[in-house]
Amino acid sequence: MTTPLLSRSGAPAVKSGSRRRRLSRREAVLAYATAVPAVVVMAVLLWVPVVSTVAHSFTKWDGITSTWTGLGNYASAFAGGQLLQLFQTNLVFLASIPGIFLICIITSVVLWERVPGWRFFRSVYYLPTVLSSAVVGILAKVLFSPQGAVNALLGQVGLSGLETDWFGHTGTAWAVLVGAFYWQTLGQGVLIFLAGLSAIPSEVVEASQIDGAGWWRRLFQVILPLLTPTVGYFLLTNVIFVLVDLFALVYVTTGGGPGGSTTPIDFLVYQKAFQDGDLGSASALAVLLLVITLVFSSLQILILRRVGGD
């Protein structure tokens, strides 16, 4: 007669294994029960609208009835070069990202080195981040209106010749938009880079100082290489923003003018859908914008992985 194997506690090993399996099943059930609500919410709020948008991009749709048109909406989007012309607006914002990147990284390093008043300035720089793009746009519109504070200040200091209709000319309208974008992004960028700088060992920077490296040399040859993941995150989030999230800022500030010169693609999606009532064309533009964003994001991730040596 064989004796059943005993565990250390003296209970049969079979019962111990069975108990572990039951516990594992309970944990799995609990895990799935916890994940299912999140999956359902994601499906309802994200995937269902995406699939619906893709499906309606092949139709002429007014929100109630739809008629199959195939690739007609996509052909119309490229006809006359309107899409490429509008994409130039997004490209202007993309080209402005290196500028705000340099401002953010320099400001962050200065604050990280705790210059006099660094606590106060850190709060001041972060303040615009808590404001929405619409609020930032309203502030910019009020300040740069023909009777706004900027023109009034120029007149008071004897520079009345520089007073202008800021939103009536393409160049000055762009200057206001990019300035508003910089102002809102500065706090977010400083916060991100300060978090990355906190992970850099102080011994590394001190060693470079002992070796005689100046401030700018330390920044570009020591600090920035150690911040590669942080730089990647900052660039990726801002590229996505200027591709798909400019609507509120542009709508409130310039309304896409003058003459449509500051109209980004996501603003055109709004115009097609809610001003023209052509939801099919708006869906096609939204799908094209999604593809463009995925391509830019994928290229960024690929480049950053190669730079980081992953």
When pLDDT is cut at 50, 70 and 90, the band that residue 100 belongs to is very high
Q: If DSSP codes are grouped into helix, strand and coil, which group holds residue 269?
A: helix
Question: 236 or 211: whose pLDDT is higher?
Answer: 236
Give 281's strand partners: none
Buried/exposed 264-291: b ≥16 CB within 10 Å, e otherwise: bbbbbbbbbbeeeebbbbbbbbbbbbee
Residues near 77 by beta carbon (within 8 Å), at least 6 away in sequence? 83, 281, 284, 285, 288
**Distances, alpha carbon 170 to alpha carbons 175, 180, 221, in Å:** 9, 15, 38
E strand segments, the chain: 59-61, 66-68
Residue percentage of the chain with pLDDT more than 70: 91
pLDDT in tens, 132-186: 888 999 999 999 998 889 999 988 888 888 888 899 888 899 999 999 999 989 9
Token pair for 77: 């989007």
- Residue, of 9 and 217, whose pLDDT is higher: 217
| pLDDT at residue 38 tops 90 | no
Q: How many angstroms separate the Cα of 204 from the Cα of each of 91, 212, 219?
A: 37, 13, 12
Residue 15 binned pLDDT confidence (cut-offs 50, 70, 90): low
Residue 1 has pLDDT above 50, yes or no: no
Alpha carbons 100 and 238: distance in angstroms, whole number = 10
Instruction: Identify which has the larger pLDDT, 44 or 101.
Output: 101
CA distances, 285 to each of 60, 233, 270 (Å): 13, 27, 10
Average pLDDT, the chain: 83
Predicted TM-score (pTM) above 0.85: no
Mean pLDDT of 257-285: 86
Q: How far apart are CA 167 and CA 46, in angstroms?
A: 36
CA distances from 72 to 45, 125, 239 (A): 28, 47, 29
User: 244-254, pLDDT tens digit by residue?
Assistant: 888 889 999 98
Which CATH number describes the domain made up of 79-308? Answer: 1.10.3720.10
Q: Tokens 């108990």 appear where?
A: 19
SS3 (DSSP) at 286? helix
> In this predicted model, which residue has the larger pLDDT, 7 or 44?
44
Higher pLDDT: 109 or 43? It is 109
What is the tens place of the pLDDT at every residue in 180-207? 999 989 988 988 998 888 888 878 888 8
Confidence of residue 36 (pLDDT cuts 50, 70, 90): confident
